[in-house]
Amino acid sequence: MNNNKPRMVAAKTFFARMNEGRSQWLSEAQMLKECEEFFGHNGYDDLDRDVTFAGHQNFTSPIIGSNELETIATMFRPRLDKYDMGFFGTLESALYDVIDNHDKATLMLATDSLSYDPITKIEEIGVAIENLMDEGMYLLFVNGRLSYALFDDFKKLTAPVPVQD
């Protein structure tokens, strides 16, 4: 009997399946394609490329998706496996430029799903991501095989993930 109710899977298991058989990190070009597909499958029908957000530091988002409720600007970092103060400072600045200067907008960091383990196991990366998510940033994991995992709260990264059969 299938009642279309999603079943819950442990986050570690979910990401192990997402990354099964993968050893290569995605490129920024692949990330762009994945984000475009993510937006299209999730009702963000108004897409724009290379949109500049003015602010403390001008930030150019490679792709933004909008619907009637919100606009999501993206920043790509395919490989998050070491702490990079410069990157996280730029990410924080971009987040504030987007949310402070644009109504109903936020920033989404898109990364390869291979980044899941470093984000959850390397304290410096986890703390940086958690702080940014507390301020409103989304975190999107992609794997190049049309699988996505979007998070709006850092605590959900280790919670069971709902999946459809």
* Residue 74 placed within a domain: yes
* Residue 6 placed within a domain: no
Asked whether 117 and 158 are in contact (CB, 8 A), the reply is no
Count of structural domains within the chain: 1
Of 77 and 55, the one with more pLDDT: 77
- Any idea what the CATH number is for the domain that residue 137 is in? 3.40.1350.10
Instruction: Identify the CA nearest to 91 among candidates 101, 77, 78.
Output: 77
* Residue 157 placed within a domain: yes
Q: How do residues 102-140 score in pLDDT, each as one tens digit?
A: 889 999 999 999 999 999 999 999 999 999 999 999 999
* Residue 7 placed within a domain: no
* Residue 49 placed within a domain: yes
Percentage of the chain with pLDDT > 70? 97
Calculate ∠ Cα 9-152-159, nearest 5°: 25
Q: How do residues 44-71 score in pLDDT, each as one tens digit?
A: 999 999 998 877 778 899 999 999 999 9
Mean pLDDT, range 25-33, rounded to an integer:
94
Label residue 119 exposed, middle or buried (CB < 10 Å: 0-12, 13-18, 19+). buried
pLDDT at 1: 47
Could you list the residue range(s) of the whole structural domain that residue 75 is in?
12-163
Mean pLDDT of the chain: 91
* Residue 47 placed within a domain: yes
Q: pTM surpassing 0.75? A: yes
